[in-house]
Amino acid sequence: MADDLSSPVYLPVLLAVLAAMLGLGVWVARRARSGEDFLLAGRSLGTPLLLGTTLATLVGTGSSLGAVGFGYENGWAGALYGIGGAAGVLLLTVLFADVRRHGFMTFSEEMAYYYGASRAVKGVVSVVLVLASVGWLGAHILGGSLYLSYLTGMDPQLAKVVVAAGFGLYTVVGGYLAVVVTDAVQGTVLFVGFTVLAVLALAAAGGPAGLAAGVPEEAASFLGVGALGPVPALSLAAVVAVGVLATPSYRQRIYSSRDTATVRRSFLWVGGLFAVFALLPAVAGMAARTLHPGLDNPDMAFPYLATTLFPVWVGAFLLVAGLSATMSSGDSDAVAATTVLLRDVAQLVTGRLPRAEDMVRLSRLCLAGVLLLALAFALLATTVIDYITMMVSTVLTGLLVASLLGRFWKRATWQGGLAAMAGGSAAALAVNGVAAWTEFWGNPVFPSMAAARVCGVAVSLATPPSRVTRAEALERLAAERARMDVGTAVRRRGEDPHRRT
């Protein structure tokens, strides 16, 4: 470990950044007068903020710090994270951007719309989404704490508390608008930071020729296919894309935007920029491999570069960039979980929705509860987070297939939607349970999606079609939202909530 690691600069810089983020949260909190303001930023996000927050969320712990470590081990395969993420955003634009006009608040509400406002679909999906969001949030806390502990020497358990409190405070105070504004700042830092990291690391490693000489031949192959194998490489990009298409935090970007045109314009920019970003972690990882081929933990490739290769002030800037990746994803998952809890789970458990005048207070309480729950998981052990993240990857493929069937196939029934989710999870668990299958596929995304489609179609054909039209389903869901004073701004802008897709 380098001498720079003990530098007193890193921790004060981090605390100063967290104080600035909290200040932004306090500043924007003045605009949170209703639940819609607090949880959806008043449904008024324009292109700059929507672009910045989506890009910052994409550059999360896995696609930045994790991708650098993956690039250390597998060369250009580190770019697959970014390629999959860019593909996911572009597909999200094509397939689902226009659901903005319906005024949805949560992904579970959108899923219920596809299946005749089914309470069963909304209930199951809402529980799954809360668990998934808390799981992702815990993983972000854990990943950020490992990085912070490495750089500052802080006790690992204390580092988890610091990371959770870091983005938790401004999120609880300012709500979703605080998330969006801070994400825009953090996204800028991320892009600049990783660009600086990749360029300087590439120069230190001796340029492209040095990279090629410093990694195994198979890692230097096109997108690392020689290191991973064609099917696992494709599976990795696909599972990242599925994560974007089925994770509630990205749907929340759609619901909170000004209009459909803003969503499409912003997401197209995000897809292009993230495709360019994809190369940076791979370059940094390969450079770290060239400079230090014997790291015990490849996930420490990023902090290794920050603490040994650059002056202290550059390392401090990269510290902020790395933790920005964690915070900008964690805060989004926290708000997504809170929104689903108040809009869908509360109705499932109590039979009624919160009152409009209580929404801001309840939102802050739920946010604090979600953050504490995720922190508790992160404090227990690494194996707990491993289990949760495995569960997340298991459920998202079936959820995506169910959303596609409901959106584009009129014969799909609510029973078929639930069967698609169950079938996808069963197939993923089966693949994960057989070592030979896991070695062949890399991850279970393709078998899981195939099984989900077969189960969804078969059960839909075996059950009676829904008698509830899309317009009727939309009307029922809008009536529910009106009790929470959510969605009214959409109708006041003159958008037609009953136009069928």
Between CA 492 and CA 478 the distance in angstroms is: 13
The answer, yes or no, to whether residue 219 has pLDDT greater than 60, is: yes
Residue 59's closest CA among 255, 240, 266?
240
Q: Give the start-to-end residue ranges of the domains of the chain.
A: 11-382
Which of 144-148, 200-204, 343-347, 493-497 is the least confident region? 493-497
Alpha carbons within 13 angstroms on the beta-carbon side of residue 128 total 27
Length of the chain: 501
Between CA 211 and CA 55 the distance in angstroms is: 28
For the domain with range 11-382, which CATH number is right: 3.30.300.20, 1.20.1730.10, 1.10.490.10, 3.40.50.1820?
1.20.1730.10
The answer, yes or no, to whether residue 289 has pLDDT greater than 70, is: yes
pLDDT of residue 427: 94
Q: Is 306 helix (H, G, I), strand (E, B) or coil?
A: helix
The answer, yes or no, to whether residue 422 has pLDDT greater than 90, is: yes
Higher pLDDT, 495 or 218: 218
Taking only the tens place, the pLDDT of each residue in 74-100 is 999 999 988 999 999 999 999 999 999
CA 444 to mean position of chain CA atoms = 19
pLDDT of residue 328: 74
Between CA 76 and CA 428 the distance in angstroms is: 27
Between CA 324 and CA 157 the distance in angstroms is: 19
The model carries a pTM of 0.86
Which of 15-29, 127-141, 203-217 is the least confident region? 15-29
pLDDT of residue 63: 62
**Region 121-138 average pLDDT:** 88
CA 169 to mean position of chain CA atoms = 19
Looking at the chain, the whole-number percentage of residues with pLDDT higher than 70 is 90
Which of 315-319, 396-400, 408-412 is the least confident region? 315-319
**Region 310-320 average pLDDT:** 74
Long-range contacts from 463-471, C-beta under 8 angstroms, 24+ separation:
463/413, 463/415, 463/416, 464/413, 465/410, 465/411, 465/413, 466/115, 466/116, 466/118, 466/413, 466/414, 467/116, 468/116, 468/117, 470/113, 470/500, 470/501, 471/498, 471/500
Is residue 7 very low, low, confident or very high in pLDDT (cuts 50, 70, 90)? Answer: low
Taking only the tens place, the pLDDT of each residue in 32-68 is 666 777 888 888 889 998 998 888 888 766 666 778 8
Burial 73-92 (b: 16+ CB within 10 A, else e): bbbbbbbbbbbbbbbbbbbb
pLDDT of residue 176: 83
> What residues form DSSP beta bridges with 45?
257
Taking only the tens place, the pLDDT of each residue in 156-205 is 889 889 888 888 888 888 888 888 888 888 778 777 878 888 888 899 89
pLDDT of residue 485: 58
Taking only the tens place, the pLDDT of each residue in 451-479 is 999 999 999 999 999 999 999 999 999 88
